[in-house]
């Protein structure tokens, strides 16, 4: 299927690894020019070919989104697609937390700064150049946790629920002007959040008296009651994002697409 990305310019945040790397690779492979935004590059990102520009910024800096959008316009002449993928634990934070009482005020602040306010700033910066090109597509990466409140990671879930609300509001306001805005809501994805040293697999292993491989391969899918008994692959999320970003989804806005191995059970 031709996704009609040739000649289009995309920004992908959190592009150096995980879902963001898979999205960047996919869009490049489909012919888009991509501005890859992350604090630092990675060997996997650096080896990608095509029209790729890495912009090293920290999204905890309120000026970073505007700077990245300006670089996209300067380098490639405009902007058509924005994938707000960066999210999850803010820099220096380890998740999961297991209780409402665990995060303090500052923890809540940085969680919303990273998972909501950075997205708001990126969208604010992206809309003018998109309108100048006659429209565009914004895909915000949310989480199934936004629709399944629980004591674990309550601050993260609340930030993603707010992101879903903002996405709906944006879709209402800007659809008549040609900008579609949607969310993709992954379940547990086999990314560095889970697999890196000190990450979620190690934290859960310490709580459960298990080893990290058992958590990744068996305990986490069981604990999260996944219908497909494994963690999601980043490419599976990237494929859904690419379809929503594409003109092939021209009638889709305000939607939330779950790619979660059956994590959400609600109708």
Catalytic positions are: 156
Q: Residue 188, class by beta-carbon neighbours within 10 Å (0-12 exposed, 13-18 middle, 19+ buried)?
A: buried
256-259 and 179-186 strand pairing: parallel
| Rounded CA separation 226/63 (Å) | 39
Hunting for tokens 């935004």 — which residue is that? 37
């Amino acid at each position: 299927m031709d996704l009609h990305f040739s000649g289009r310019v995309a920004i992908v945040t959190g592009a150096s690894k995980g879902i963001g790397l898979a999205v960047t690779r996919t869009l490049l492979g489909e012919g888009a020019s991509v501005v890859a935004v992350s604090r630092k590059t990675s060997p996997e990102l650096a080896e990608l070919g095509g029209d790729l520009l890495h912009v090293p910024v920290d999204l905890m800096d309120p000026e970073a989104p505007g700077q990245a959008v300006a670089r996209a316009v300067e380098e490639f002449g405009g902007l058509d697609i924005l994938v707000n993928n960066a999210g999850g634990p803010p820099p220096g934070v380890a998740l999961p937390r297991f209780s409402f009482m665990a995060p303090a005020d500052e923890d809540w602040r940085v969680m919303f700064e990273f998972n909501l306010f950075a997205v708001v700033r990126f969208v604010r910066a992206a809309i003018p150049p998109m309108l100048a090109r006659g429209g565009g597509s914004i895909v915000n990466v949310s989480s199934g946790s936004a629709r399944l409140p629980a004591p674990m990671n309550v601050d993260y879930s609340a930030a993603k629920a707010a992101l879903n609300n903002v996405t709906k509001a944006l879709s209402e306001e800007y659809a008549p002007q040609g900008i579609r805005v949607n969310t993709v809501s992954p379940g547990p994805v086999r990314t560095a959040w889970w697999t890196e040293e000190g990450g979620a697999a190690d934290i859960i292993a310490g709580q459960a008296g298990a080893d990290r491989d058992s958590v990744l391969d068996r305990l986490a899918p069981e604990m999260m009651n996944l219908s497909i008994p494994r963690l999601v692959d980043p490419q599976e999320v990237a494929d859904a994002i690419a379809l929503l970003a594409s003109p092939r989804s021209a009638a889709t806005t305000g939607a939330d697409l779950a790619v979660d191995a059956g994590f959400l059970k609600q109708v």
